[in-house]
Structure 1
Amino acid sequence: MYFAALRAALVAILALHASWAQALVFAVNEGVTYRVPPEQIAARYAAIAADLSKLLKQPVTVEPVGAYPTLRQGLAAKSYDIAMVHPAHLSIVAMKQSGYKLIAVTKGFQNYSANFLVKADSPLKTLNDLKDKRLGAPDEDSITSWMVRATLRDALGDAQLVKYSYTRYQDAVPFFVENNLTQAGATASGSVIKDWQAKGGRILAKSKPVPIKHLIAAPSLSAEQVAALRDYFVNLDASDEGKKKLEPIKLQGFAAYDEAALLQLGAWLGL
């Protein structure tokens, strides 16, 4: 009897150890058009990762993923159990093609819109006037540029009727317009837009809003685990302790969002 009980206890301990030995990967991407050193990201998310380890009863390791091709490959291979994805088009593709489930979107980024910038004295009055003109825009594979092209497709019937000059960083876009390298520019950066208007620049048009910075879960996680993750993240800003954990990642918090509506926006983007 004693040995049977001891054996059962050992089996339970080994099972628990095996569970904890298999770490879950929490991939974090903060975009390509912002200057965020990847080495800072793991430390920023350390407190949240510790909470997730307790919640899911498995260790959770933070894996910063800066390059979009790497992120694409990892999501397609379902290498990430949880992912914080800045570019909405990549998380939407992961949900559409790889079975990922939406956990939450980021507060403050639910109405992310591309703004089309022109000089105050520009003769351009509508998006239709951009036909055959040159437009400065962020990285070609940034969510901003996907939104720009979808908006111009709606306005002109074909996004390729506009000539594009792409730059890696959003804050470089006004330089194109100011120095007459392009007739217009496009950005979704709030600080860039505010600065442009403060200098007397004009906003020609805005794109349809798209929520960005999505938290998604791999199909390997159960519905119960996804629900637990959603409850954790959505309520993170409801306590002082949670707010302290949000401070290092410089986010207000997270909000629930309808996955079907997000997939519809993906269709608009051309995904």
Structure 2
Amino acid sequence: MTTRLPHPHLLILAALASLGAQALPAAAQSPRVLSLAVSEGTSGGIDAATARRKYAPLAQRLEQALGDSVEVVFVREFAALEQGMKDGRYDFVVARPSDYPARGLRDHHYQYVANAEPDGQCMLAVRADSPVQSLEQLRGKTFVMPEEVAYMARFCRAELRDKGIDLAQESVFYVREQGAIPFGLENGIADVGGMASYSGAFRQWRDKDQRVLHQSVGQPYMPVVAAPTLSAAQLAKARKVLLELPQDPAGREFLRNLGISGFTDKGEERLRKLLEWLGV
């Protein structure tokens, strides 16, 4: 009986296939996709498609630096953002307001990468013709603030607390949208309003030559944090990407679209203390 041997080419192909299956690293077989979670809050005014376009330049630079694909994931609801960090679903998180990245550091072992410049502040605004000239004169006045659980309401409350004014003892209107605060001031509904320095409502107030009575201490704005699974080398590369954005026209354009001047890596200590300062 004659035994037919396999064709030599088939033997070679089989051997190569076997060798490749054994030698090829898992990462090479299935390239990793890193997630960049983006949240501008419920009043950020963008949807998922807009967020992907807006943050695509950053995702592309991170891809080049890290050698992995980076996918922009838009997260509108803060509860979903925190749950995602708790579950470790997001490799990078960039968010405003800043308390959720701070929760990532405190509660979910995320790592600080950088935060935007300039800092965020609570701006206490009064009408240009207001007789109020000092913080001390605010006692007994009527305040209008973002909704009570909002980050900026807590921010303004902490600032006023440090200046000796307890909002719990004052008359306060809380509104869902910061855009309602200038309306309340201009129409005499309230004497003083608290707005975020980076908000559209405050920019409009400033452009109308209205008055700022007091601007608070600065706190880290739009922090970027990374999952605990990312290595020190990956963090260093991501940080370098953020810090170098102002060095070329495309990077500067991206920063302009975010409404910031750049990123710094000097805010970690303050970000880690933020929640305690806010009293949460």
Provide TM-score, normalisation by structure 2.
0.82
The aligned residue for residue 96 of structure 1 is: 106
Once structures 1 and 2 are overlaid, which stretch shifts more, 157-166 or 220-229?
Answer: 157-166
Mapped to 2, the partners of 1:199 and 1:43 lie a distance apart of 31
Q: In structure 1, list runs of 5 or more residues that go unmatched.
A: none
The aligned residue for residue 260 of structure 1 is: 269
Q: Report the CA distance shift for 1:201/1:179 in structure 2 as closer, same or farther (over 3 A).
A: same
Mapped to 1, the partners of 2:121 and 2:78 lie a distance apart of 21
Q: Report the CA distance shift for 1:141/1:17 in structure 2 as closer, same or farther (over 3 A).
A: farther
2:182 is the counterpart of 1:174: yes
Mapped to 1, the partners of 2:165 and 2:197 lie a distance apart of 26
Mapped to 2, the partners of 1:146 and 1:104 lie a distance apart of 23
Q: In structure 2, list runs of 5 or more residues that go unmatched.
A: 1-11
> Any idea what SS the aligned residue of 2:20 has?
helix
**Pick aligned residue for 2:240 from 210, 231, 245:** 231
Report if the CA contact (8 A) 2:219-2:270 is conserved.
no
Residue 174 of structure 1: CA displacement? 0.8
- Tell me which amino acid in the other structure corresponds to 1:29: S
Report if the CA contact (8 A) 1:30-1:66 is conserved.
yes
Once structures 1 and 2 are overlaid, which stretch shifts more, 49-58 or 146-155?
Answer: 49-58
2:15 is the counterpart of 1:15: no
- Tell me which amino acid in the other structure corresponds to 1:66: R
Question: How many residues are aligned here?
Answer: 268
Instruction: Report matched runs for 1:149-160 at 5 Å.
Output: 149-156=157-164, 158-160=166-168
Instruction: Report matched runs for 1:24-63 at 5 Å.
Output: 24-63=34-73
Structure of higher CA gyration radius: 2
Q: Report the CA distance shift for 1:202/1:81 in structure 2 as closer, same or farther (over 3 A).
A: same
Provide TM-score, normalisation by structure 1.
0.84
2:248 is the counterpart of 1:220: no
Post-superposition Cα deviations, 1:68-112, rounded to whole Å, max 9, x if no partner, equal 2222222233321100111111111211111111111113x32x2
Report if the CA contact (8 A) 1:52-1:60 is conserved.
yes
Mapped to 2, the partners of 1:244 and 1:193 lie a distance apart of 22
Report if the CA contact (8 A) 2:97-2:222 is conserved.
yes
**Pick aligned residue for 1:87 from 72, 97, 107:** 97
Report if the CA contact (8 A) 1:33-1:142 is conserved.
no
2:132 is the counterpart of 1:124: yes
- Tell me which amino acid in the other structure corresponds to 1:32: T
| Percent identity of equivalent pairs | 29
Report if the CA contact (8 A) 2:102-2:275 is conserved.
yes
> Any idea what SS the aligned residue of 2:83 has?
helix
Once structures 1 and 2 are overlaid, which stretch shifts more, 35-44 or 225-234?
Answer: 35-44
- Tell me which amino acid in the other structure corresponds to 1:230: R
The aligned residue for residue 185 of structure 1 is: 193
The aligned residue for residue 5 of structure 2 is: none
**Pick aligned residue for 2:151 from 143, 157, 162:** 143
Once superposed, what is the RMSD of the aligned Cα atoms? 2.8
2:219 is the counterpart of 1:210: yes
Once structures 1 and 2 are overlaid, which stretch shifts more, 199-208 or 169-178?
Answer: 199-208
The aligned residue for residue 115 of structure 1 is: 123
Q: Which has the higher strand share?
A: 2
